[in-house]
Amino acid sequence: MIGSTATADIAVLQALSKRIQRSTEARFRAGCYLSELITLIPHRNRNRRQEAPKVEKTKKR
């Protein structure tokens, strides 16, 4: 009786670890994909920020 429950527990743990591994791998892939997208897209915005003319602030009296 004790041996059978132990093997069942081990099987459950193995299934869980496989599921966790899959989810972490998917998260990692999504993270890599997102970081690639982020590096590709916002170059235009960065350039715009640099090119924007600086307005001098006037002191209020």
- CA gap 59, 61 in Å, rounded: 6
Residue 21 has pLDDT above 70, yes or no: yes
pLDDT category of residue 37 using cuts at 50, 70 and 90: confident
Q: What is the 3-state secondary structure (H, E, C) of the chain?
A: CHHHHHHHHHHHHHHHHHHHHHHHHHHHHHHHHHHHHHHHCCHHHHHHHHHCCCCCCCCCC
pLDDT at 54 over 70: no
pTM above 0.75, yes or no: no
Q: Across the chain, what does the average pLDDT equal? A: 76
